[in-house]
């Protein structure tokens, strides 16, 4: 069932985090023990030296050598923050994740809901109103109703695809009109040709085949723009008036001539931590 599958995935993700924390704890305790051994050996050597000097009656009052104590601050200072910062190296953030309840039965999503491809066999899925049927489309999980938003889609390896946004109320059943008048603002690649899915299916002339497509939505201005993020060259911009929520939209489209098509994948963002030392 959906509940069992979702529970399994939640447990799997937390298991990864638990494993990381256990490994990090073990590494930090090992570092503490290593420092303890080093400091103990240093004190042992100092004691041996003092013992020899005492025997020769040449020693002054012994002093504790510099650096003999455990560097407690190194091990405990900002410990939770340091561990959290290191966790960023193992986790990924994507600005869009797919809603599996909207995916057509011909589609297969990855467990992290960031990539989609054509399934070898149609999946047995509920016929809920939100789902595309029979069209091979899928929507992002979060609706957008104001502001600016952007995300990038990895399209390399696929000869057929469509990428863009769709309005919430658009029809998802039966034969669809995947163009601007039908509530879709998208571009697609089909049979080697790029097109804007507007009323006239405007051909797009690209200097090179992009590996990624950047979708940029300015809801308040009524603009959906597409770029090649390798050099931010402009591909196409739709202009319209938006009156309801929009959702990221993707379709790998059906292509029987391509034996091993790659997936459409939402690209991860680099997460950067900035420390404001003046606050």
The 10s digit of each residue's pLDDT in 164-174 is: 999 999 999 99
| Four-residue CA torsion sign, 175, 177, 183, 184 | positive
CA distances from 246 to 148, 165, 267 (A): 12, 6, 20
Q: What pLDDT is stored for residue 63 in this prediction?
A: 65
The b-or-e profile of 161-194 (16+ CB within 10 A means b, else e) is: bbbbbbbeebebeeebebbbeebbbbbbbeeeeb
- The chain-wide mean pLDDT, for the chain, equals 87
Q: In the chain, what percentage of residues exceed pLDDT 70?
A: 90
Whether residue 114 is predicted with pLDDT greater than 80 in this model: the reply is: yes
Segment (H or E) for 245: none
- pLDDT tens digits along 146-164: 999 999 999 998 889 999 9
Tens digits of residue pLDDT in 91-111: 788 999 999 999 999 999 999
Task: Express each pLDDT in 58-89 by its tens digit.
Answer: 555 656 667 777 788 888 888 888 887 887 77
What phi, psi does 115 have (nearest 5°)?
Answer: -140, 150
pLDDT at 12 over 60: yes
Query: Distance (Å, rounded) from C-alpha 28 to C-alpha 37?
Result: 14
CB 219 within 8 A of CB 242: yes
The answer to whether 117 and 125 are in contact (CB under 8 A) is no
Q: In this predicted structure, what is the pLDDT of residue 193? A: 93
- Rounded CA-CA distance 83/73 in Å is 15
Q: What is the pLDDT of residues 198-249, one digit of tens each?
A: 887 899 999 899 999 999 999 999 999 999 999 999 999 999 999 999 999 9
- What band does 179 get if pLDDT is binned at 50, 70 and 90? confident
């Amino acid at each position: 069932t959906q509940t069992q599958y979702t529970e399994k995935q939640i447990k799997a993700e937390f298991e990864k985090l638990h494993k990381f924390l256990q490994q990090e704890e073990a590494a930090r305790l090992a570092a503490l023990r290593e420092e303890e051994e080093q400091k103990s050996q240093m004190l042992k050597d100092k004691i041996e030296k003092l013992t020899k000097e005492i025997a020769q009656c040449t020693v002054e009052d012994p002093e504790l050598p510099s650096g003999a104590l455990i560097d407690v601050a190194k091990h405990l200072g900002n410990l939770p923050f340091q561990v959290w910062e290191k966790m960023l190296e193992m986790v990924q953030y994507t600005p869009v994740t797919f809603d599996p309840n909207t995916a057509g039965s011909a589609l297969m999503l990855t467990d992290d809901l960031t990539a989609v491809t054509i399934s070898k066999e149609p999946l047995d899925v509920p016929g809920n109103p939100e789902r595309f049927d029979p069209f091979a489309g899928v929507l992002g999980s979060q609706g957008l109703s104001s502001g600016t938003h952007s995300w990038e889609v990895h399209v390399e390896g696929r000869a057929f695809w469509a990428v863009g946004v769709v309005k919430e109320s658009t029809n998802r059943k039966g034969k669809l009109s995947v163009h601007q008048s039908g509530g879709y603002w998208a571009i697609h690649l089909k049979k080697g040709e790029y097109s804007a899915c507007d009323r006239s299916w405007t051909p797009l002339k690209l200097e090179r085949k992009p590996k990624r497509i950047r979708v940029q939505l300015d809801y308040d201005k009524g603009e959906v723009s597409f770029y090649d993020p390798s050099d931010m060259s402009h591909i196409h911009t739709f202009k319209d008036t938006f009156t309801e929520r929009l959702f990221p939209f993707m379709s790998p489209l059906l292509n029987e001539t391509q034996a091993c098509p790659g997936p459409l994948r939402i690209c991860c963002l680099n997460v950067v931590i900035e420390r404001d030392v003046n606050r």
